[in-house]
Structure 1
């Protein structure tokens, strides 16, 4: 019933969005005498905001076509290099740098960005990819919307997420050499929730002395130990037993989708939870959008629209992945307690001796509190201290540590320097 109720609401809101959009166009039409009045213009802008806030959004495109490096603009080539049922591996190469005269080069570090599987598409990290392309050949995990994955493809849980990361790292490592150079180890960056599986995958690869062990792992706003500075998100996960989550927030995908019958944690529920945490802020953002439109500041209004186009494009995650994450990460604290197992094998964090670790946290992060990511540095006793680094991004919230001006000018340079130092 949960999903059906949502589909009914979505259909109604789509109708509202269509009517509001038509009303905005009518009121702003040059042939309409009311468009030249203050009340007409303000009404058109109000309908524009309403149309945008009630529209439904599908999976966005990355749309990265070029990047500036050392003052020169280069074309970016996007491709999918591995296809898997629950997520693909995408690669972004820069023409003239990663590819010269049609031939791949091995000149720049190869970075795998582990995108969160937390209700949004990997395109939420578009700004992260774009900025890192200035110094790295970038790969990213492009997770599938669980409601589009047929039931016959099987399940996908936290263990499978780790397996995907290991497979992707092995692929990148195998592709990193040329006829003239030996293969180089890849680098990995995990943004928010995937810090946990990325940390575990790194430990397993180090334990087995794999050539795919990343040279560096950057964890950004990740819930490694949620007992440190617990947030509202952490409290919500801790205050209810796992059975409550199983009964209250898990839904069945309806028949109109390819994944019909699959049990999922719907993306619309995750979005509702995030929106309600900062409802006043989101309302003010739309009010500011209205003011920008009224003042004729189309650029600022469009920036807000672009953000919400991405933020409100949500996808479902499998029930088994969601429930296992809640239980192991937020309730049992299996990683910091040294009890986390990957398919029966204890993940020994003390086995990390090769991969250098960078922990990045936001001063104003209300999703992963200060100290939660930094805890990873304490959990690796056999890793040399000169291979550990911590960055507290002053003034940055959760989103700001991987997107926006603070990310581009304050955080990304530190990440680049760290990768260069440990390649």
Structure 2
């Protein structure tokens, strides 16, 4: 019922949005003298804020078309390298001729990086800045998860263990020696997938794994979302957070955790901050400050674009990760049968990154990976806490670009080179 009401409200607001857009266009016309007055500029700004706040935001484009490497502009083409009904693996393919101009003859190819995007309400494009932060130094891939409201019900279930399966399939497709970067939600399932690969002596085992702002152990430094998950009984989530996709979406009748519910939760956590941001946006529009207004649009165009999660994936995540803490307690069983053992990982280097002011995954939750991976040598482990940033700043923004990404790059390069040296030594033997 809630989903249908939201859709009905969106349709009912459409005429008002059209009126706002028409009014803004009229006031922007050079033939309209009112548009140059303070009153006219305020009206145009009000119309702009109203239209952007009530608009339907679809899936954003990647808008990653080039990267500068050694003063050379290298064209980049996002393309699907592997797909399933629930995930597209996007490869940011660099033009080989332009890339060759940036490399010495006989130089090793750029290390491969698999960015595992979160399936927690936003599209993978929220990590556009993360992708751009590593394009110069890595051959970058990213998981682009399917919006559950766009998945016909005949596709069947997609749960937390299916997510783990997808991580293994993607790593198998890429082959061994990849550098895995898990941002936020994927931490536990990615660690579970690599644990089982290590136990199986899978040749597709990655060279490194980096976890950023991930709830490996949500019991540590609990944040507001963590406390909500702990305080509410499991039945509360099944009764209040799960809704049915209405027509005309392809996923009609599928039971989901809607993205707009997740978005409302995040917005309410920092409501005053979002109100202040829109008030500043209004003033920038009135004053004609194009650059800050453009940055506001860019951020909120991405932030307000949300996807739905399947009922089973969301509820299993709540139960296993945030209520019962299966992985840190050593009781996570894949498919209810196979015990996941992070202690089996011995040859994959581990790095964790946290933000000092993270209000989603508190300090220590990501670091917990080091306590679980007891058989990784200490010289293959690294922990870093970024001062002055919150959750979003761990994987986006100026601090990420200048302080976090270079550290991760140094870490992955070190162990990618070690993997290549060991492979060369093995061939000689």
Distance 1:99 1:71, change over 3 A: closer
Whether 2:226 is the aligned partner of 1:226: answer no
What's the TM-score once normalised by structure 2's chain length?
A: 0.93
Q: Which residue in 2 is equivalent to 1:167?
A: 169
Deviation string 1:242-281 (CA, Å, 9 cap, x unpaired) is 1111111101111211111111000010000001100110
Q: Is the 8 A contact 1:113 1:140 kept in 2?
A: yes
Give me the whole-angstrom Cα distance separating, in 1, the residues matched to 2:166 and 2:96: 30
Q: Is the 8 A contact 2:75 2:98 kept in 1?
A: no
Q: Is the 8 A contact 2:74 2:99 kept in 1?
A: no
Q: Which residue in 1 is equivalent to 2:409?
A: 416
Q: What are the within-5 Å matches in structure 2 for residues 323-402 of structure 1?
A: 323-343=315-335, 344-402=337-395
Match of 1:204 among 181, 196, 199: 196
Cα drift, residue 96 of structure 1: 3.5
Segments of structure 1 that go 5 or more residues without pairing to the other structure are 174-183
Give me the whole-angstrom Cα distance separating, in 1, the residues matched to 2:119 and 2:13: 26
Q: Which residue in 2 is equivalent to 1:30?
A: 30
Q: Which residue in 1 is equivalent to 2:20?
A: 20
Secondary structure of the corresponding residue to residue 73 of structure 2: strand
Q: What are the within-5 Å matches in structure 2 for residues 21-420 of structure 1?
A: 21-96=21-96, 100=100, 107-173=109-175, 184-343=176-335, 344-420=337-413
Give me the whole-angstrom Cα distance separating, in 2, the residues matched to 1:328 and 1:348: 15
Deviation string 1:358-407 (CA, Å, 9 cap, x unpaired) is 11001111111111001111111111011111111111111111111111
Q: Is the 8 A contact 1:188 1:217 kept in 2?
A: yes
Segments of structure 2 that go 5 or more residues without pairing to the other structure are 102-106, 417-429
Cα drift, residue 16 of structure 1: 2.9
Q: Which residue in 1 is equivalent to 2:420?
A: none
Q: Is the 8 A contact 2:359 2:391 kept in 1?
A: yes
Deviation string 1:89-118 (CA, Å, 9 cap, x unpaired) is 1111222479659xxx96111111100001
Cα drift, residue 18 of structure 1: 2.1
Distance 1:356 1:293, change over 3 A: same
Give me the whole-angstrom Cα distance separating, in 2, the residues matched to 1:167 and 1:307: 32
Distance 1:77 1:229, change over 3 A: same
Cα drift, residue 309 of structure 1: 0.4
Give me the whole-angstrom Cα distance separating, in 2, the residues matched to 1:202 and 1:12: 48
Moved more, 400-409 or 43-52: 43-52
Instruction: Work out the number of aligned pairs and report it.
Output: 410
Cα drift, residue 353 of structure 1: 0.6
Give me the whole-angstrom Cα distance separating, in 2, the residues matched to 1:126 and 1:221: 17
Cα drift, residue 196 of structure 1: 1.1
Q: Which residue in 2 is equivalent to 1:178?
A: none
What's the TM-score once normalised by structure 1's chain length?
A: 0.94
Cα drift, residue 352 of structure 1: 1.0
